[in-house]
Each structure stands twice: as structure tokens, then as C-alpha cells.
Amino acid sequence: MNKKIVVIGANAAGAKAAAKARRTNPKAEIIVLDRGNFISYGACGIPYYLSDTVKELKELMSTPVGVVRDANFFNKVKGVSVRTNTEVIGIDRERKVVRLREGAAETELSYDKLVLATGSSPVVPPIENVSLPNVFTVKSIEDAELLKERAVAGAAACIIGAGLIGLETAEALQGKGMRVTLVEMRDQLLPGVLDPEVAAVVEKQVKLQGVTVLTGSAVTAFAGEGRVQQVIAGGQQVAADLVVLAPGVRPNVALARDAGLAIGVTGAIAVNERQATSDPDIYACGDCCETTHLVTGKKVFIPLGSTANKQGRVAGINAAGGEATFAGVIGTSILKIFNVNAGKTGLTENEARALGFDVETVLSPAPDRAHFYPGAKPILLKLVAERGTGRFLGLQAAGEGAVDKRLDAAAAAITFRASVEQLSQLDLAYAPPYSAAMDNLIVAADIMKNKLAGHARGISAREVKRKLDDGDDFILLDVRSPAEHGEIGLAGAKLIPLGALRERLDELPRDKEIVAFCKISLRGYEAQKILDAAGFADVKFMDGGIMAWPYRFRDQ
């Protein structure tokens, strides 16, 4: 008798599981159930459909050669039966059947192996009047169509949540001619993705594009007659003709929980490396289940389309009788927002410290290719490493230039538990159109090596700002040229160009802390070494220099 595999959910993870199960076991009967009408679409492309970057909705549901992935496609090309508008309302594990609702009728369907790909749902916070018309989420094709219809040029849009989806939706609506306000309850954009100084690069660009940004502002209510008209956030009243809720998603685990399957510490379905649940005949994959973080070994819930496809592949192989494992993730993510690219892989500094790591960090700004090659654009890298072991823990990147290849190289290094020393020795591709002779990632690793060895002593821009605000008694030393200093600078900084520093040592007090800086702090580091050699006792350089300063400058 042929094996019967039932998959619940027909998007990224479920569709991949069904297709891979068919290739693994050509004789199995494979049935996919989905409560919606649209299947196997690229949900991550929804903001680009909103902005008209993707012109036709069918492009989100098509193969690379333009064939729409509908039920007929799966039946004829994949050999998989897909039943849409079919809701699974229960799982009887003892009898190995699922209970279905199709219209008004309820039926049952047996299975030998079951794959749960139930996905996630947008978090709808318990806010007063959250059910008013024109309050949207952005998760499904239906959401996208309705939101696109209501996105009217000149109207006001308010996005609640400044994560990946919130930012991408803000850009899409701004591109439709709407007046956009972005509201985030935490004190930075992309919380949980970037540390504050890297997030500041993104925030600056978002504001330059005319988006109003309200951070540290919790939404307490919506107001309006017949539809939403105002958002009450942080004590302010924000005009809004439509609202998009984007504070995050939560895993759809009701079916699994009701069936008695184990739910993990993250609130998502618990699975092992084979994507098997606590029932060996039931697998789970995609946004409904948790996974393992490869740096920490801890369970995490990080819903991404890339992960869903990889987990779906593993679940499909195993459900069909094969053998496959999924090791885990390191949280790699990226986005393009207006003219800036930003992303991370591994642990941020905040995450690493919260987990008890003793960390060192590096901020390294530079052009994304040889500075003399036309089109070179700035990027900022932030490296995180463990003191003592030198283990490379994480990378963040933001800027107008190419950050993706640095993140991808870093992701590989972190996955294979590379040290900073090993990272600095990577044989990366070089030609002036692509990078400097010493790629940004290699330069950042070399700075980190100097810091870990005690040769370089950096201090963050955030700490310098605190010292200035608190009136600390220290010398902020600008070692740039007079022209650079006059063009843009920091209030209270003393100018001594690097080339004149050795001749002007007597101008500096030897009993005070000195923090040197320049454009990117290469000269700042050189100034530290000169002053060290001259016997100054407490010298540091400001990480990243002027290019990594996220605050107002002297004359602004």
C-alpha cells in the first residue's frame, strides 16, 4: 500500500515539503490542504507589489519561467493534489485522521505521515478601536490587494512597527504618494535586527525621504468615526487615513496544541533536527515551528521565507521515507529601504551581551569598492566577537553600497565557527568594481584582531556622546585636516592634524583621557599609537569616526 502524506499549508514550507516528498517517493499519495485561495506565493514580495515594483500579482505566484503555481500546476507538474478553501479544524493522532471543513461540510482525511506548515499570523495588539475600518495587516495576498486599493496619494498612512515588514511597507506607501508616519515603541528602528548605531544609518535615510519617524512611542489607541482617522502614540495624535499593523508575527500552533503536540520554549511547535514533532508521524516546518540558533545552541523563533523553504525540504524528505536534517539558523536577514541596504547575521552586540558573552566590537565605515572606482558608495560594518576565544559572533551592515556579499561571507564564517583570525584570512574576490584590495570585511576583522590583542583601544560614538553630555573632563581630538574639520565636526573637539601631532604633543595634557577621531578613525588609531609611544597613559580612538557618528554635528 502506498504511503499517504498530508500537508497542511500550501505556501513556502508546505509547497516545498510536498514537492520534495514527491521527488523522494514517486509512489506516495500526497495531498496539500490550504484554507485560502492563493497558494505558493512569495509573501516577502508583497511590499514590492504594493509599490508597483512588481507589476502583476501573478508574478508572486509564478515560477522563474512565468508559470503560475496554482492547484493545476501542482497536480500536473508536481504530481501533488492541492485542495484550497479547505480548513483543517482538528487532528486525531490516534486514528491518524484530520478533520476538514469545506464550506458548510465537515469531513475527515486519513494520513500515514502529516506535515504541519501552518505558518504565522500578524500580531494584532489589544489596542482600543483596533477593529476600525482601514486598519490593515500585511501577510496575505488578500491583505495586499485591499491595502493597494486604499493607498491613495496625498492621504496619511501610519505604520505601527519598524521591523523589516514595517519599513518595506513604509517605502511602498511613500512611493504611492502617501504621507507616511512610522511608529515604533522601542527607541530605534529595526530593534532585534540592528544595534542602535547601525540602525541610525537606516533612520537617517528614512527621514531624508520624508517619512516621519516616532521611536519610543507606544500606541495606546486608534480613533475615528466610521474608519480610523487618528493614532494615539506616545502622547501624540497622528493623522491616519489608513494604518498598517506590523509589530511582528506569532506562530500558528492551535492545531498542534489541540492535538497534544509539544510546544517549544519560544511558543512555536517543538521539532528536532529532522523537523519531527513530539509525534514521530507528524512533521512541522516554516513559520509555525522553532529552530536552533547555531551560535548559542538555544531554541529560537525567527520566521523567514528562506528558512521555511529549507525546513520544508527536510520535512518532505523525511515524511516520504528519506533521511535529512536541518541544523539551524544564525538569524541572517537583509532589507532594502529607499537608498540604503541593511542587514545582520549572527548575534548583535545587544544580543550577545544579554546571553552572557564577553564581547568586543568594531565599527568600520568605508566605500563598498575601490574608492577611485566610479559609483563607490559608503557602508558601515559592525563586527562582534568574543573576547578570550576570538570567536566571530556577528556582523551588521548598513549603507548605500553593497552589504549583501559581506553578510553572506560572514554568515558562512559564523556557521563554521570561524575565529576573527580566520575571518581576516578569507580569500575574497577582488577587483576595483567590487571592493578595495582589502575588503571591508577583512579590514573590520583586522581592526578586531588589534582590539583583541590590546593594540587598539576603541570607544563607541554612543559612549563619546554620553561623555560630552555628562561634561566629562576629557580631550576629544580631531586629527583630520583643517578643511575636513571646518566642513563638518563635533562640538568641543580640538584640532591637531595627524601630520602635525608629533610636533604638537605639548598642547595635550598627559593626565587626561584623550579620544582621537578622523573620518573613519584609521588616523584616529594612528594617533592613538603615536600618543602611546609618547607616554600618554589614557588614549583611545572613536570607533568608525565621523562616518559612524549617528548624532547631530557641530553646525547642525
pLDDT tens profile 536-552: 999 999 999 999 898 88
Asked if residue 397 and residue 382 are part of one domain, the reply reads: yes
Asked if residue 367 and residue 395 are part of one domain, the reply reads: yes
Asked if residue 101 and residue 8 are part of one domain, the reply reads: yes
In a domain, 330, yes or no: no
Strands 539-542 and 4-8 turn out to be unpaired
Residue 1 — pLDDT band, cuts 50, 70, 90?
low
Asked if residue 360 and residue 448 are part of one domain, the reply reads: yes
Beta strands in 199-294 (DSSP E): 212-215, 219-223, 230-233, 236-239, 242-245, 249-251, 282-284, 291-292
pLDDT tens profile 225-265: 989 999 999 889 999 999 999 999 999 999 999 999 999 99
Helices marked H in 453-521: 461-470, 482-487
In a domain, 326, yes or no: no
Which of 266, 285, 319 is the endpoint of a domain? 319
Q: What is the mean pLDDT of residues 318-345?
A: 97
Task: Please give the model's pTM, rounded to 2 decimal places.
Answer: 0.93
pLDDT tens profile 434-480: 999 999 999 999 999 999 999 999 999 989 999 999 999 999 999 99
Among the ranges given (4-18, 332-346, 542-556), the one the predictor scored with the smallest mean pLDDT: 542-556
> Residue written as cell 578643511?
483
Which of 430, 452, 474 is the endpoint of a domain? 452
Greatest extent of the chain over all pairs of C-alpha atoms, in Å: 91
In a domain, 112, yes or no: yes
Asked if residue 58 and residue 139 are part of one domain, the reply reads: no
Please give the residue range of the domain that contains residue 261.
4-120+250-319
Residue 63 — pLDDT band, cuts 50, 70, 90?
confident
SS (H, E, C) 163-217: CHHHHHHHHHHHHCCCEEEEEECCCCCCCCCCCHHHHHHHHHHHHHCCCEEEECC
Asked if residue 368 and residue 315 are part of one domain, the reply reads: no
- Alpha-carbon span 549 to 109, nearest angstrom: 61
Asked if residue 263 and residue 406 are part of one domain, the reply reads: no
Beta strands in 338-480 (DSSP E): 340-346, 359-367, 378-386, 392-399, 458-459, 474-478
Among the ranges given (132-141, 377-386, 387-396), the one the predictor scored with the smallest mean pLDDT: 132-141
Is residue 404 pLDDT above 90, yes or no? yes
Range 128-141 burial, b when 16+ CB lie within 10 A, else e: eebebebbbbbbbb
Cell numbers representing residue 346 in the block: 549572527
Is residue 38 pLDDT above 90, yes or no? no
In a domain, 129, yes or no: no
Q: Residues near 416 by Cβ (< 8 Å), separated by ≥ 6?
A: none
Instruction: Please give the tally of structural domains in the chain.
Output: 4
pLDDT at 529: 96
> Residue written as cell 515594483?
53
Asked if residue 239 and residue 100 are part of one domain, the reply reads: no
- pLDDT > 70 in the chain, percent: 99
Asked if residue 432 and residue 361 are part of one domain, the reply reads: yes
In a domain, 333, yes or no: no
- The span from the first CA to the last CA of the chain, in angstroms, equals 76
pLDDT at 143: 84
- Alpha-carbon span 529 to 525, nearest angstrom: 6
Nearest to 455 by CA among 540, 543, 554: 540
Q: Residues near 246 by Cβ (< 8 Å), separated by ≥ 6?
A: 122, 137, 138, 159, 160, 161, 163, 165, 166, 169
Asked if residue 313 and residue 212 are part of one domain, the reply reads: no
Asked if residue 115 and residue 255 are part of one domain, the reply reads: yes
CATH (domain of 25):
3.50.50.60
pLDDT at 30: 96
Residue 556 — pLDDT band, cuts 50, 70, 90?
low
Count of helix runs (H) and strand runs (E) in the chain: 15, 30
C-alpha to C-alpha distances, 48 to 53, 153, 246, 484, nearest whole angstrom = 5, 17, 16, 40
Q: What is the mean pLDDT of residues 314-342?
A: 97
Asked if residue 163 and residue 81 are part of one domain, the reply reads: no
Q: What is the mean pLDDT of residues 300-316?
A: 96
CB 141 within 8 A of CB 180: no
> Residue written as cell 490542504?
33
* Catalytic residue list: 44
